[in-house]
């Protein structure tokens, strides 16, 4: 999609006097920066009143960047509305979960159902496309910014009623789907539906370990549908801006920056409307590198494993987390190559020059407040830019995986909405526990939606597949019958798409496939554990939840050793057709989960990227029969270079690799 690796980031010359602009161009050239994302939050400047538009300053910015041969990522500015819009149309402001209508301020501040917002946002996008759409330096359109925030206003309530009627057709179907007989909630008309927030169906549950309050719900059916509705509503506003751009520019790719595992929006659905996926990567100081890699793979996965854009990362430190640590020397470079290794064709920063005020003044930048290139951060940025300027052949290379890992926003919402069995049960953490094993073994993984084609995979992993929607059980059965290996476990097969329980015993429609019946689910408090013993004598512990299982054709691989259900199965294996299903009935400690997954991958003859065991992250992209190996050390200790790479050439530094130890953050790129 791009002719070179885009290297740059968010740039706001409008925040600075003109004499700074030319100095920026000089400094950026030293860093080999070739792209700039502009106009992200300029709506108030571009449209100072309802019928007035001002493009002079933006014209100058685009002219300057075009002369410098930049790839311009042109944003539509619609993520923060101007003050005059609030003043004239106060209904454009969103209403939060507590029922409070917000005034002018902050960002992501609009109601997605507001016809006023929709009209002016689309109009602005169209005017920008009309003016700049034929500029060959405009390489990508960036609609809005980091879509988020649910709204619970009267406009959204009215729109939700229409959405529900379109989906269910009759009020009787709504009552059945949402189980409204419970607590006497029977509805007699669509106008009796109210938004499920803190003033209606919302339940707050305090997690005593984290101190955080979780939003639960008295009626999961309506709350789940509201998540779907809000995701769809936000997507509609994106599509309106996209259509306005396409009226004048039919070719330039259009994106918006996603946020990894952000809970609020169904990114698999959104990706269908994006020409290319882009996202913002901001791990905290203690985020495991395996989780960072998993999120990259998710962003690649939401659009059928196609390469993506890294729209934002910081060159040094964030400003909005609890602890905003500096990136150590070499860390930004290694993190950038990890991003490329997992599918990115761009490396972009927020921000190129550090702001002088407001809440992001301490957010890192290529040019720090000192205003010169004489900083450690700039030197590292420039070194990376020089390397990337020579790596165009990696563009559009693909990742090939034999393991698929299911990720589904409906399950995400439903699992964390349900009341019980444990407040400690969180969706992303459960997915990550399985991903981490494959990451540590350098086994490539594709993150998949539940509607994906599973046929090309040897192993399919579906942790906490709580919600089994129509057609899902049949798809999994077909995969296993044809020789695939499925790994699933506790809290799977419990409910349908409305969070109503599949009757007939857990795991519902997966019961025959798994060859077990889960009679009860025990919840262990955070300080409690259970013992587990495998049939080969291996022992260890389990926590969180324990399914009490009965074998119905499966064989027992491991049993509990404590509690009243000691000696009952904890892990099982069932043959189904030509394939097998592993059922993990509890949260095993890492070494025990690794034992199960090692057995499954060996049975499926899944191959790691290289055969040698190593603590290095080694990731591969492929293009036209050529392999590109990314070799990175994210551990704190120096690690030996695998013998497989001794004698090969590092494309980044141009040197032949001899046997040696790689210090932390060392990164190589090898082609063969």
Binding residue ranges: 107, 111, 145, 151, 153, 156, 320
Binding residue numbers for Zn(2+): 111, 151, 153, 156
282, 250 Cβ separation under 8 angstroms: no
Q: Give the pair of three-digit tokens for residue 417.
A: 């909405």
Calpha distance 620→189 (Å, rounded): 56
Q: Give the up-direction half-sphere exposure of residue 618: CA atoms within 13 A in the CB hemisphere.
A: 24
Question: How many CB atoms lie under 10 A from the CB of residue 323?
Answer: 9
Q: Does the active-site annotation cover 50?
A: no
CA distance linking residue 306 with residue 235, whole number of Å: 20
Q: Distance between CA 191 and CA 160 in Å, rounded?
A: 10
Binding residues for substrate are 107, 145, 320
Residues 666 and 637 sit within 8 Å (Cβ to Cβ) = no
Residue whose pair of structure tokens reads 């409008």 in the numeric block: 14
Q: DSSP letters along 34-85, please?
A: -EEEE-TT-HHHH-SBTTB---HHHHHHHHHHHHTTPEEEEE--TTS--HHH
Asked whether 117 and 111 are in contact (CB, 8 A), the reply is yes
Catalytic status, residue 60: no
Please state, in angstroms and rounded to a whole number, the distance separating the CA atoms of residues 65 and 658: 43
Query: What is the CB-side half-sphere exposure of residue 340 using CA atoms within 13 A?
Result: 31
Please list, in sequence order, all residues whose beta carbon lies within 8 angstroms of the beta carbon of residue 288, skipping any fewer than 6 positions away.
Answer: 432, 436
The catalytically annotated residue of 241, 312, 368, 617 is 312
User: In 10 A of CB 257, how many CB atoms?
Assistant: 26
Alpha helices by DSSP H, listed for 254-330, are 267-271, 289-301
Residue with token string 């229409």: 162
CA distance 363 to 355: 8
The two beta strands, 530-534 and 555-560, are antiparallel
Instruction: State the CB neighbour count (10 A cutoff) for residue 16.
Output: 14
d(CA 404, CA 514): 18
Strand ranges inside 189-277, DSSP E: 202-206, 213-217, 254-255, 257-258
Q: Which of 240, 221, 218 is nearest to 229 (CA)?
A: 221
Of 146, 402, 477, 617, the catalytic one is 146
Residue 179 Ramachandran class (φ > 0 left, ψ -120 to 50 alpha, else beta): left
8 A C-beta contact, residue 586 and residue 565: no
Please list, in sequence order, all residues whose beta carbon lies within 8 angstroms of the beta carbon of residue 536, skipping any fewer than 6 positions away.
none
Helix orientation angle between 427-440 and 409-417, rounded to the nearest 10 degrees: 130
List Cβ neighbours of 476 (8 Å cut-off, separation of 6 or more): 454, 460, 462, 486, 510, 513
**DSSP conformation letters of 107-171:** SS-B-TT-HHHHHHHHHHHHHHHHHHTT-TTEEEEE-SSS------SHHHHHHHHHHHHHHHSSH
Whether the bond into 507 is cis, omega within 30 of 0: yes
User: What distance in Å separates the CA atoms of residue 459 and residue 404, rounded to the nearest whole number?
Assistant: 6
| Residues belonging to the active site | 146, 312
């Amino acid at each position: 999609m791009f002719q070179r690796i885009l290297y740059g980031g968010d740039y706001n010359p409008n925040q600075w006097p003109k004499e700074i602009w030319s100095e920026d161009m000089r400094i950026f050239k030293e860093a080999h920066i070739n792209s700039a994302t502009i106009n992200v939050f300029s709506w108030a400047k571009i449209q100072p009143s309802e019928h007035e538009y001002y493009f002079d300053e933006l014209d100058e910015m685009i002219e300057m960047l075009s002369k410098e041969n930049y790839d311009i990522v042109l944003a539509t500015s619609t993520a923060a509305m101007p003050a005059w819009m609030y003043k004239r149309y106060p209904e454009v402001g969103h209403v939060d979960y507590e029922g409070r209508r917000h005034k002018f301020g902050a960002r992501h501040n609009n109601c997605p159902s507001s016809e006023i917002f929709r009209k002016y946002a689309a109009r602005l996008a169209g005017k920008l496309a009309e003016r700049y759409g034929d500029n060959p330096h405009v390489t990508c359109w960036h609609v809005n910014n980091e879509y988020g925030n649910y709204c619970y206003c009267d406009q959204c309530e009215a729109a939700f009623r229409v959405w529900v009627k379109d989906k269910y057709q009759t009020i009787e179907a709504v009552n059945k789907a949402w189980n409204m007989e419970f607590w006497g909630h029977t509805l007699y008309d669509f106008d009796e539906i109210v938004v499920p927030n803190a003033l209606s169906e919302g339940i707050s549950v305090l997690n005593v370990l984290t101190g955080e309050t979780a939003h639960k719900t008295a009626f999961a059916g309506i709350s789940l549908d509201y998540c779907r509705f809000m995701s769809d509503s936000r997507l509609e506003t994106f599509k309106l801006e996209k259509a306005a751009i396409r009226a004048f520019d039919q070719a330039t790719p259009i994106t918006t920056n996603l946020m990894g595992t952000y809970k609020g929006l169904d990114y698999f659905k959104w990706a269908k409307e994006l020409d290319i996926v882009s996202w913002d990567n901001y791990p905290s100081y203690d985020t495991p590198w395996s989780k960072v890699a998993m999120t990259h793979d998710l962003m690649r996965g939401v659009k059928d494993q196609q390469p993506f854009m890294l729209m934002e990362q910081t060159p040094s430190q964030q400003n909005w987390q609890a602890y905003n640590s500096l990136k150590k020397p070499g860390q930004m470079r290694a993190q950038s190559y990890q991003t490329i290794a997992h599918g990115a064709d761009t490396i972009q920063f927020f921000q190129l020059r550090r702001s002088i005020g407001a809440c992001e003044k301490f957010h890192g930048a290529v040019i720090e407040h000192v205003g010169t290139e004489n900083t450690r951060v700039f030197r590292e940025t420039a070194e990376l830019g020089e390397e990337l300027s020579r790596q165009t052949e990696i563009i559009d290379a693909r990742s090939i995986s034999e393991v698929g890992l299911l990720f589904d926003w409906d399950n995400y919402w439903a699992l964390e909405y349900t009341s019980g069995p444990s407040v400690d049960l969180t969706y992303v953490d459960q997915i990550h526990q399985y991903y981490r094993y494959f990451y540590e073994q350098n086994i490539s993984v594709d993150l998949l939606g539940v509607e994906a084609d599973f046929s090309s995979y040897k192993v399919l992993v579906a942790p906490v597949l709580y919600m089994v929607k129509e057609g899902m059980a049949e798809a999994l059965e077909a995969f296993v019958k044809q020789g695939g290996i499925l790994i699933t476990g506790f809290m799977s097969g419990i409910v349908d798409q409305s969070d109503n329980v599949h009757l007939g015993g857990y795991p519902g429609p997966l019961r025959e496939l798994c060859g077990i019946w889960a009679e009860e689910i025990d919840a262990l408090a955070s300080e409690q554990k259970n013992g587990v013993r495998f049939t080969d004598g291996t022992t260890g512990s389990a926590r969180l939840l324990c399914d009490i299982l009965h074998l119905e054709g499966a064989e027992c691989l491991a049993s509990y050793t404590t509690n009243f259900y000691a000696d009952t199965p904890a892990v099982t294996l069932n043959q189904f057709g030509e394939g097998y299903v592993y059922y993990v009935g509890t949260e095993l400690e890492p070494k025990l989960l690794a034992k199960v997954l090692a057995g499954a991958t060996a049975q499926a003859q899944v191959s790691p990227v290289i055969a040698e065991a190593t603590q290095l992250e080694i990731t591969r992209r492929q293009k036209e029969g050529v392999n590109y190996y990314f070799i990175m050390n994210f551990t704190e200790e120096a690690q030996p270079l695998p013998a497989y790479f001794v004698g090969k050439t590092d494309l980044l530094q141009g040197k032949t690799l001899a046997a040696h130890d790689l210090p932390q953050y060392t990164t190589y790129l090898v082609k063969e």
